[in-house]
Amino acid sequence: MLEDNTHLTIATLFESVRMHGVLDTESQSHLERCGLCRGRLSWMQTATDLGTQESEYEPPRSAVDKVLQLGREQSALKQLGNFIIASLTFDSFSEAAAEGVRAEGSARQMTYHAEDVDIALWLRRSEEGTMTLAGQITSKSLPRMQDNSDYVDLVVGGDHVRTSSFSPWGEFLFPDLMPSSYSLHISLADRMLRIPSIHIIDDEKSQQCSESR
C-alpha cells in the first residue's frame, strides 16, 4: 500500500489522464486521500481538455491585427490619457430650471460641465415604456462638430453597449433603453469626457431615472 507521504508518480498521473490509463486500486485509494495528487491530476486534466481545443481558440490573424492597430494610434492613446469626469450642474428633478434652460414636457433634463464643454441630456419615456436618452454637446472651442471620429458610447459596467456619432450640432440619441445603470463616454477631439452614472429605473409611477455621481 502507498504511504500517505509517497505520492503517485507524475508519469502515472499523466498516463492515466492523457492515455486513458486505469489506475490500480491502490493508486485510486491513495488518490482519494491525497490532495496533492488530486491537484496534479486536475491540472493535467485541464491541460488535456484545453489541448484539444487550444488551436481553435487562436483568433484569426486579421482580427488580431485590427485589435493591435488600436495600440498604434497615438492620438487615441493620448486621448485616453486625457480623461475628464463631467460634473452635474443642473437636474430638473431636483431643482427649478435656470433661466434659458429649455423645458420639454415630462422629460427629465440634466446638464453637465467639463472644462469648456457643456453637455445637455434629456430622458424621456416612450409609449412602449422604454426610455430615450438624447443629448447635445456645446463648446466654445468646438462651435460645430466636424470631426467624424468623435463619438459617444453608452456603457453598462464597462460594456460599451451602443455608440452614436454626433450631428453637426453636437446632438446624439440613444432610443429604447432598458432599465440599467449607464455611463456615457464622450470622445471629443483630444479628450475623453465621462458622465459616470445615470440610473434608469423600472418604475413608471416614480421618477424616470435617478442620477448619482
Partner 1 sequence: MDERSDGELISSCLEGDGGAWEELVKRYKRLVFSIPLKWGLDRDDAMEIFQAVWLDCFRELHLLRDLDRLQAWLVRIAVRKCYRFSQQKRGKPETIEITETDRWTEDPSPALVRRLDQEQMIRSAIARLSPRCTQVVQALFFEEPFPSYATIAARLGLSTNSIGFTRDRCLARLGKLLENLGYVH
Secondary structure class of 182 (helix, strand, coil)? strand
**With CB under 8 A, what is the number of residues at the site for partner 1?**
53
CA 35 from chain center: how many Å?
Answer: 38
Residues 161-200 contacting partner 1, CB under 8 A: 161, 185, 192
Residues 98-117 contacting partner 1, CB under 8 A: none
Pairwise CA distance, residues 67 & 85, whole Å: 26
Query: In this complex, which beta carbon is closest to partner 1, that of residue 2 or of residue 107?
Result: 2
Query: In this complex, which beta carbon is closest to partner 1, that of residue 105 or of residue 157?
Result: 157
Among 4, 6, 9, 94, binds partner 1 (CB under 8 A): 9
Pairwise CA distance, residues 193 & 196, whole Å: 9
Helix-, strand-, coil-residue percentages of the chain, each rounded to 5: 25, 35, 40
Least Cβ distance, residue 67 to partner 1 (angstroms): 4
On whether the CB atoms of residues 132 and 124 are closer than 8 A, the answer is: yes
Query: In this complex, which beta carbon is closest to partner 1, that of residue 1 or of residue 70?
Result: 70
Among 4, 6, 10, 28, binds partner 1 (CB under 8 A): 10
Among 153, 172, 174, 200, binds partner 1 (CB under 8 A): 153
Among 28, 64, 143, 175, binds partner 1 (CB under 8 A): 64
Which phi and psi (to 5°) does residue 84 adopt?
-125, 135
Least Cβ distance, residue 179 to partner 1 (angstroms): 14
Kindly state whether residue 212 participates in binding partner 1, applying the rule CB under 8 A.
no
On whether the CB atoms of residues 41 and 66 are closer than 8 A, the answer is: no
Pairwise CA distance, residues 150 & 183, whole Å: 17
Closest to 209 measured CA to CA, from 183, 199, 104:
199
Q: Which residues bind partner 1 (CB under 8 A)?
A: 9-11, 14, 18-19, 38-44, 46-48, 50-60, 62-64, 66-68, 70-72, 74, 76-78, 80-81, 83, 153, 155-161, 185, 192
